[in-house]
Amino acid sequence: MGHAPTPGPDMHDPADLGLDPDRLQRVADFAKAFVDDGHMVGTDVLVARHGKVVLRSTVGLADREQAVPVADDSLWRIFSMTKPITSVAVMQLVEEGRIRLRDPLSRFLPAFADMEVFVGGTADEPETVPVERPITVADLLTHTAGLSYSILNQHPVDEMYRRAGIDALERGGSLAERIDLLATLPLRHQPGTRWSYSMATDVLGRVVEVVDGRPFDEALHARVLEPLGMVDTVFRVSDDRLDRMTSCYAFTPGAEPALLDPGPTTGFADVSWPSGGGGLVSSMADYHRFCTALVGGGVLDGRRILGSRTVRQMFVNHLPGGAHLDEVGDPLYTPGFFTGCGFGLGLATVEDPARGRLQATRGEGSWGGMASTAFWVDPAEGIHGVFLTQLLPSSTHVSLRWDLRTLVNQALVD
Q: Are 344 and 311 in contact (CB under 8 A)?
A: no
In the DSSP assignment, the letter for residue 366 is E
pLDDT of residue 3: 55
The DSSP code for 372 is S
Same fold: 14-76+216-409 with 89-212: yes
Q: Name the residue among 207, 195, 204, 68 with its Cα closest to residue 143.
A: 195
Name the residue among 347, 355, 344, 346 with its Cα closest to residue 322. 344
Q: Which residues contact 113 (CB under 8 A, 6 or more apart)?
A: 106, 134
**What is the 3 state secondary structure string of 287-347?**
HHHHHHHHHCCCEECCEECCCHHHHHHHCCCCCHHHCCHHHHECCCCCCCCCCCEEECCCC
Cα three-residue angle 148-225-325, rounded to 5 degrees: 30
14-76+216-409 placed in CATH 3.40.710.10? yes
The amino acid that residue 315 corresponds to is F
**CA dihedral sign of residues 403, 407, 408, 413:** positive
Annotated domain spans of the chain: 14-76+216-409, 89-212
Spell out the residues 6+ positions from residue 54 whose beta carbon is closer than 8 angstroms to its own. Answer: 11, 12, 13, 14, 17, 19, 24, 47, 48
The one-character DSSP state at 3 is P
Least Cα distance to 133 among 194, 192, 180 occurs for 192
Residues in the chain, overall count: 414
pLDDT given for residue 63 in this prediction: 98
Q: What is the pLDDT of residue 218?
A: 98
The pLDDT assigned to 6 comes to 53
**Cis peptide upstream of residue 84 (ω within 30 degrees of 0):** no
Which H or E run includes 391? Answer: strand 391-392
Per-residue CA distances from 216 to 41, 208, 229, 280, 388 (Å) = 33, 6, 18, 12, 25
Tell me which residues of the chain have a pLDDT lower than 50: 1-2
- pLDDT value at position 1? 41
The structural architecture, per CATH, of the domain 89-212 is 3-Layer(aba) Sandwich (3.40)
CA–CA distance, 144 with 151 (Å, rounded to integer): 18
pTM of the predicted structure, to 2 decimals: 0.97
